[in-house]
Structure 1
Amino acid sequence: MFIFVGCAGGGTSSMFCQRMVHEINQHDQNLTAIFDDVTSVFKRQLAYGDQYDLIFAYGGIDAIRSYNVFDFGQLFDVVMVAPQVAYRIGDTEKLMAPYPTIVEKIPGKIFGTMNATVAYPGLLDELIVLDERRAYQSDIQTAEKARDKNIEIFVAGGSRDDDYFINLKQQLAQLNIRCLYEPFNLENLYDESKTDFEFRFIFGNASLLTGENFPQIARRINAFMIAGDPTKSPMKKESWLRDYQIDFHYFDKQTDFATVLDFLTLVEFKSESTSEISVDRFEKQELKPLKNFLGIIYWR
């Protein structure tokens, strides 16, 4: 079971997880538990899931964002909100609503005492109840490219102010195809636009694509248009597009409208029939044993 414990900045949630895990491992022979910061838990999820019954991840409640909520919803069974940020429960519930993850405030009598011996039995009872509730949650409905009716194209190396794209937008408009041009921003990529469109072109440099953010980008973007000549200067991250089975097309100022329209038509056709491609983000890691100082502070 994966549990995310969110507080204001990660400090008190770290202390809470550390004490609970220590108590569980010391006094409950039926359970094994581990804690780590949320970024590390994402990276080691396979290894942790194989070796432990309860995996506690700590961090700030603001770690859950629109662009990574899919990852939280896929991994975590429970999001437990610390009492001092209880006012964030509503926002967190809205983000997690499409997923079976349960969002719950940590009871004050459990979190406030920080006395693991007293609190951890109550915590286990709470987790059992939450796990049962989770079993009844509805199917996942996510705003991802496979279920989204609009098409989103990442333009790598182009500018929305170029004459080429100004003309492209005008030519598409003559076919009653509405286009939206926006600069790349991971947060905005997952925001639902208030403007109706058939194609949203997201402009950004290929250097903005990182190993950390590409899974979120790939989950939303239907295709790439890449500025340049593939025989002379192919995009270095082209292999990522192939891994995720994302269609791409190279273009320059000489690429005619008919060629671009054929590509967009192909992307639209495939988007209506494809299911989301799942690519493993994390390598299975061999975990080193935890080190500790006087059995109080633990680290890896």
Structure 2
Amino acid sequence: MFVYICCAGGMTSSMFCQKIAKAANPEEVYFGHLHDLIADFQHLSETYPTLIAYGGEGEINQLTLEPTFKPYVDRVLVCPQVRYKTASLQKLLKTIDIPCADIDMKTFGNMNGEKALKDILDFQKES
């Protein structure tokens, strides 16, 4: 599973991913910037069952849907500071069958990496 966590520019999603990384088994979950994970996708996806990328919500647009998101990303999570963009992101991502949801405000506000990881892994089990 490949999850993309997006915020305005990638800074807070990076911080949030660091908290999730502390809660995760480093042999099962790999974290990195969206473009770094895609660049090494073949190797990483063979090594880790879960890949979690971070970056800005602006990465998701009409031009990047097919080449960047469709072949790699299974789910997009939106940080609270850009949740006003969720509806438009959902509309874009729906065209390539990628679910998009808001991160719980309390989980994000408390930088609760354990809860976020549990939510991600629960979604993975459902898929």
- TM over 0.5, shorter chain: yes
| Aligned-partner residue type, residue 103 of structure 2 | I
Q: Which residue of 1 aligns with 2:18?
A: 18
| Aligned-partner residue type, residue 130 of structure 1 | F
* SS state at 1:57 partner: strand
1:37 aligned to 2:30?
Answer: no
Q: Which residue of 2 aligns with 1:84?
A: 81
* SS state at 2:70 partner: helix
Quote the offset at 1:10 in angstroms: 0.3
Give the whole-Å Cα distance in 2 for the aligned partners of 1:73 and 1:90. Answer: 18
Quote the offset at 1:123 in angstroms: 2.2
Determine if contact 1:25/1:33 at 8 Å carries over to the other structure.
yes
| Structure 1 residue runs of 4 or more that deviate by more than 6 Å after TM superposition | none
Determine if contact 1:7/1:84 at 8 Å carries over to the other structure.
yes
- Aligned in 2, Cα 1:81/1:69: closer, same or farther, shift over 3 Å? same
Cα root mean square deviation, aligned: 1.7
* SS state at 1:56 partner: strand
Structure 1 unaligned spans of 5+: 136-300
Structure 2 unaligned spans of 5+: none
| Aligned-partner residue type, residue 22 of structure 1 | K
Q: Which residue of 2 aligns with 1:61?
A: 57
Quote the offset at 1:74 in angstroms: 2.2
Give the whole-Å Cα distance in 1 for the aligned partners of 2:118 and 2:24. Answer: 13
Give the whole-Å Cα distance in 2 for the aligned partners of 1:44 and 1:63. Answer: 18
Determine if contact 1:102/1:130 at 8 Å carries over to the other structure.
no
Determine if contact 1:78/1:130 at 8 Å carries over to the other structure.
no
| Aligned-partner residue type, residue 59 of structure 2 | A
- Per-residue deviation, residues 190-243 of structure 1 (Å, max 9, x unmatched): xxxxxxxxxxxxxxxxxxxxxxxxxxxxxxxxxxxxxxxxxxxxxxxxxxxxxx
Give the structure with the larger helix fraction.
2
1:143-182 correspondence runs (5 A): none
* SS state at 2:24 partner: helix
1:60-139 correspondence runs (5 A): 60-70=56-66, 71-116=68-113, 120=114, 122-131=115-124, 132=126, 135=127
Determine if contact 2:4/2:53 at 8 Å carries over to the other structure.
yes
- Per-residue deviation, residues 142-175 of structure 1 (Å, max 9, x unmatched): xxxxxxxxxxxxxxxxxxxxxxxxxxxxxxxxxx
TM-score by length of 1: 0.39
Which is higher, the Rg of structure 1 or of structure 2? Answer: 1
Quote the offset at 1:15 in angstroms: 0.7
TM-score by length of 2: 0.88
Aligned length: 125
Determine if contact 2:65/2:96 at 8 Å carries over to the other structure.
no
Give the whole-Å Cα distance in 1 for the aligned partners of 2:122 and 2:94. Answer: 19
- Aligned in 2, Cα 1:128/1:20: closer, same or farther, shift over 3 Å? closer
| Aligned-partner residue type, residue 6 of structure 2 | G
Quote the offset at 1:128 in angstroms: 4.3
Which protein, 1 or 2, shows the higher relative CO under an 8 Å CA cutoff with sep ≥ 6? 2
* SS state at 1:104 partner: strand
Give the whole-Å Cα distance in 1 for the aligned partners of 2:69 and 2:21. Answer: 21
